[in-house]
Amino acid sequence: APVPGLASADLKGGVSLVNIFASWCVPCRQEHPILLELSRDPRIVLAGINYKDKNDNALKFLRELGNPFAAVGVDPAGKAAIDWGVYGIPETYLVGPDGEILFKQIGPFTTESLRDRLLPAIEEAISPPG
């Protein structure tokens, strides 16, 4: 199935989770089952940015492991990653309805980081205090 592209406007109006990944990234493969699980969470939209990877390799990666992403952007030269403040991949950003980054995960998600850090951040993003 075709993979929809990602535009900045796609990250406005709801809570989004943006994952920077590549087919050659071993930790990206390790966290992929967690991303598949997160893709079923109706509170968020999961988007990916393919980092310094060939499109064919990225599509093969998603066909083999499953595609958790509603849309995927392409960053062949790593310029978008600089704008996001990426140190290395995988990295994942929780983006609020106004486009503000609310949470950043450096490195792959684990069961513990999902439970202890990301899920509470999602809960706070969808039901802010006040």
Is the sign of the CA dihedral 97, 101, 103, 108 positive or negative?
positive
> So what's the pLDDT on residue 3?
62
User: pLDDT confidence of 87, banded at 50, 70, 90?
Assistant: confident
What pTM was estimated for this model as a whole? 0.90
The proportion of the chain whose per-residue pLDDT surpasses 70, expressed as a percent, equals 88
Over residues 1-29, mean pLDDT: 80
Q: Which helix or strand (DSSP H or E) is residue 69 part of?
A: none
Average pLDDT score over the chain: 89
| pLDDT exceeds cutoff 70 at 4 | no
